[in-house]
Structure 1
Amino acid sequence: MKEQSFDLKVLSGNWESVNLNPTVIIYRDGEHYMLSVIHMNETSKQATPATYEIQEDEGGFFINYNLKRVAINYDKKQDLLTISALGDYMRN
């Protein structure tokens, strides 16, 4: 049974963490949706993206992040993205 169903295209764009976690960008690459976590190096001020394919199973959408299954949820009313390992994100 699916916990939540939504079209991934509503998530496309830049998302800013409400907890000061790295910025996230979601975009379509061919048939797949990708999620990039943008890590900032405080010393060099260089941005380093780590990109993951968004996958779906009976439990909903997720990415494999640091060898763990990380759930992706979306609250349409609040336009709030939740990534279980990183917390809540607001559209930038």
Structure 2
Amino acid sequence: MERELFDLDRLVGNWESINLNPTVMIHRNGENHQLSIIYMNEVTKQASLATYEIQEDEQGYLVYLNGKRTSITYSQRLDMLTIATLGDYMRN
């Protein structure tokens, strides 16, 4: 499987799910990039944040969500981020 290479700096910013999943933010932390998922409690209207380090292996970029490998891909043509378990995201 050939992976699609892209610069993670292109992904820095806020991303909104087109499938009504939680909003995500990608940001730099020193030399590393992190993905933060903003969860909204519908009852209390309080937001909580879960942050994961974006890692790279021979298959591409990934994060470990709940202990499971979750791939991250990006379509430059569409400016669309895809997180395997959460679906597609458009830049906000």
What's the TM-score bracket when you normalise by the shorter of the two chains? over 0.9
Q: Within 1, Cα distance between the matches of 2:5 and 2:49?
A: 27
The one-letter amino acid of 2:26's match is I
Deviation per residue, 1:64-85 (Å, 9 max, x gap):
0011000000000000000000
Report how many aligned residue pairs link the two structures.
92
Q: What is the aligned partner in structure 2 of residue 32 from structure 1?
A: 32
Q: What is the aligned partner in structure 2 of residue 80 from structure 1?
A: 80
- Within a 5 Å distance, the mapping from 1:5-44 to structure 2 comes to 5-44=5-44
TM-score normalised according to structure 1 size: 0.98
The one-letter amino acid of 1:43's match is V
Unaligned runs of 5+ in 2: none
Q: Give the deviation of 1:3 after TM superposition.
A: 1.0
Q: Say which SS state the counterpart of residue 16 (structure 1) adopts.
A: strand
Report the RMSD for the aligned CA atoms in angstroms: 0.8
Q: Within 1, Cα distance between the matches of 2:60 and 2:2?
A: 6
Q: Say which SS state the counterpart of residue 6 (structure 1) adopts.
A: coil
Identity of aligned residues (%): 60
The one-letter amino acid of 1:9's match is D
The one-letter amino acid of 2:35's match is L
TM-score normalised according to structure 2 size: 0.98
The one-letter amino acid of 1:55's match is Q
The one-letter amino acid of 2:59's match is G
Q: What is the aligned partner in structure 2 of residue 54 from structure 1?
A: 54
Alignment of 1:89 with 2:89, yes or no, is yes
Runs of 4+ in structure 1 off by over 4 angstroms are none
